[in-house]
Amino acid sequence: MTDTEAPTAGAAVRRQRLLHGMTLRELASRLDVSPATVSAIENDRTGISVDRLRRVAAVLDVPVSALVAGAAPQAAHPAPAIPAEPTVTEPTGHWRDFAPLPIDGVLAGAIRAFVAIGYHGASMRSIAELANMSVPGVYHHYASKQDLLVRVFDLTMTDLIWRVEQARDEGTEPVARVALFVEALALYHARRNDLAFIGASEMRSLEPESYRRIARLRTHVQELLDHLIADAIAQQRLGVSHPADAGKAIATMCTSLAQWFHPDGPTTPEQIAKEYSRFALGLLGHHPA
């Protein structure tokens, strides 16, 4: 498939399955066929009848037209428009505002693939399909799948750090600084849900040098929080016996939002962030009247 060539019906089925976060085995089970059959369909080693095409469309909750050759992908939760090429911009705006990130088409495909089937489950071919490009076209922009993963982590940490630092600096006294920092940390993991999910699940997939670099950035965020907690304890005499443990518990509470929080759920990201901020102060023994 070239950059402009229409994908086959099998490729369209595979792409829609990936976009909907469904494994090959799960689709096979819901169609009551073997995984080998689904694999053969997706790789164009066997034809697909109109009846089966309708069943696949029903399972994936897309119109049949989305599965015919040359159809454009229809994500379960379509991503916002993205630029064709990445751009580099300085962090601007307020930490509570979340403008689109500089994500190019290939990186957007990689993010969808990593969320749907994991780093090791994704291939450059599946990323190319989600980016609506050829595999050589993907390699033109990124040398490897690892480069894509590193780019995701770099983008995530850059975006996160300026936000928590700006939030901290809005505080006029120690407890307020802790509250704002935690609110920003929680809000990020609720708002940038896909990036945070990859950050929580794919750190182990980074190669050693990149792993150490990203780990240092994560440690920096934890140390920022620990210092704020220490200041709050010292200046306002909070009853915390083990501040380091409290800091880790608060950070973990916020980062775990990526595992379960859904932006389309009954609670908004802003509401959950405020609530987590109150949870954190309660954990530190601060209970305002």
Q: How confident is the model at residue 64 (pLDDT cuts 50, 70, 90)?
A: confident
Tell me the H-state helices in the chain.
9-19, 24-31, 35-42, 50-60, 105-117, 124-130, 135-141, 145-170, 174-191, 193-201, 208-236, 243-255, 257-260, 269-283
- What CATH number should be reported for the domain whose range is 145-283? 1.10.357.10
Q: How far apart are CA 83 and CA 68, in angstroms?
A: 26
126-130 own/partner pairs: CB under 8 Å, 24+ apart:
126/14, 126/18, 128/1, 129/7, 129/11, 129/14, 129/15, 129/18, 130/15, 130/18, 130/19, 130/73
Question: Cα–Cα distance between 261 and 252 in angstroms, integer?
Answer: 14
Question: In sequence order, which residues have a C-beta less than 8 Å from that of residue 186 and are 6 or more positions away?
Answer: 253, 254, 257, 272, 273, 276, 277
Q: Burial, 65: exposed, middle or buried (Cβ in 10 Å; 0-12, 13-18, 19+)?
A: exposed
Q: Which CATH code fits 9-67?
A: 1.10.260.40
Selected residue with higher pLDDT from 205 and 236: 205
Q: Once rounded to an integer, what is the mean pLDDT over residues 154-169?
A: 96
**Other beta carbons within 10 Å of 43:** 12
Q: Where in the chain are the domains?
A: 9-67, 145-283
Structure tokens at 210: 């990149």
Nearest alpha carbon to residue 108 among 83, 74, 143, 139:
83
CA distance 225 to 228: 5
Residue 1 has pLDDT above 60, yes or no: no
What is the DSSP code (8-state) at residue 70?
Answer: T
**Looking at residues 156-170, what average pLDDT do you find?**
96
pTM of the model: 0.73
Least-confidence region, from 44-58, 166-180, 264-278: 44-58
N-term to C-term CA, the chain: 65
| Residues 99-113: tens digit of each pLDDT | 999 899 999 999 999
The fraction of the chain above a pLDDT of 70, given in percent, is: 87
Name the residue type at position 21: G
Q: Which tens digits make up the pLDDT trace of 183-209?
A: 999 999 999 999 999 999 999 999 999
What confidence score (pLDDT) does residue 91 get?
Answer: 61
Least confident of 90-94, 145-149, 176-180, 231-235: 90-94
Q: How many CA atoms lie within 13 A of 125 on its CB side?
A: 8
pLDDT at 144 over 70: yes
Give CA–CA dist 111/12, Å, rounded.
18
